[in-house]
Structures are given as C-alpha cells and as structure tokens.
Amino acid sequence: MSIVQVWDSIEEFGGAVDDLQSAVAAGWAVDEDRGQTLLKAANDLYDRLDGHLQRADFLTQELPLGTTPAAQVYKPYLATIATDPHQGLIVALKELQRKTADIRTSIEKSMAAYDAAEQNSRQGINKANRA
C-alpha cells in the first residue's frame, strides 16, 4: 500500500467519523452492549496505532542500501516517506489515531443519549402508572 493510498483511506475514515458525529448530533443513540463493542474496536485500533507510533523511530533511519549512486539517492528519500511533516506515514498514523479518539468520544455521547432516553421513557411509564 502506498502512502497515497494510506492517506486516501484515512480521509475515507475521517468521512465516516464525520458521519458518525453528525448522526450523534442528530440524536443517534446506541445501547450499552453495542456501544461497548464499538468502543472495544475503537480502543483496540487506538492502542495498535499507539504501539506502531512508539516504534516508528526506526522509520526515520536511512536503510543500509549500500554505496551505489542509486542507493545514495534512495536512502534519504525513503526515510522522508515516513517523516515528511505534511504527508508522511508517521503524520498519517497520528491523524488516524486522532480520528479514532473522535470516534470513541462520539460513541460515548451516543451511549449517554441512549441512557438519557431510557430514563425519560421509564419516568414517563412510571408517571402513567401512578395516574
């Protein structure tokens, strides 16, 4: 997978995050069990990305490609693929991790909305039973 494909995938993921945030703002709610399942998936992804980012320093090193003229050209270039501050792999992984954190927040808000709706429904039923 090329870095361009990685960035395209992250942009698609970001669109899904935006859609989820819009749905939550519009009142989408999820119950505790399903919410916990979604949170587990988001937490797993976040943790995996964190692990990769903690080990990403090796990506900044030049590869031992030898001393040929072509190797001298490629060695610094290959390291910049990971470290470019605007479109490198490390920046891409950090952006994906940030979007994953946004998903967790949206899921938690959605679970809270579900709980609030459940409590309101219970109160309505209790009032109706007392009347």
- 15: amino acid identity, one letter: G
Domain boundaries defined on the chain = 3-21+28-130
The Cα–Cα gap between 7 and 112 comes to 32
82: CB partners within 8 A, 6+ apart: 56, 59, 60, 88, 89, 90
- Give the residue among 74, 55, 58 at the shortest CA–CA distance from 66: 74
Q: 83-114: per-residue pLDDT in tens?
A: 888 888 889 889 999 999 999 999 999 999 99
Q: What angle do CA 12, 14, 18 make, to 5 degrees?
A: 120
The Cα–Cα gap between 18 and 66 comes to 46
| pTM for this model (two decimals) | 0.77
Q: 25-82: per-residue pLDDT in tens?
A: 898 899 999 999 999 999 999 999 999 899 888 888 888 888 999 988 888 888 888 8
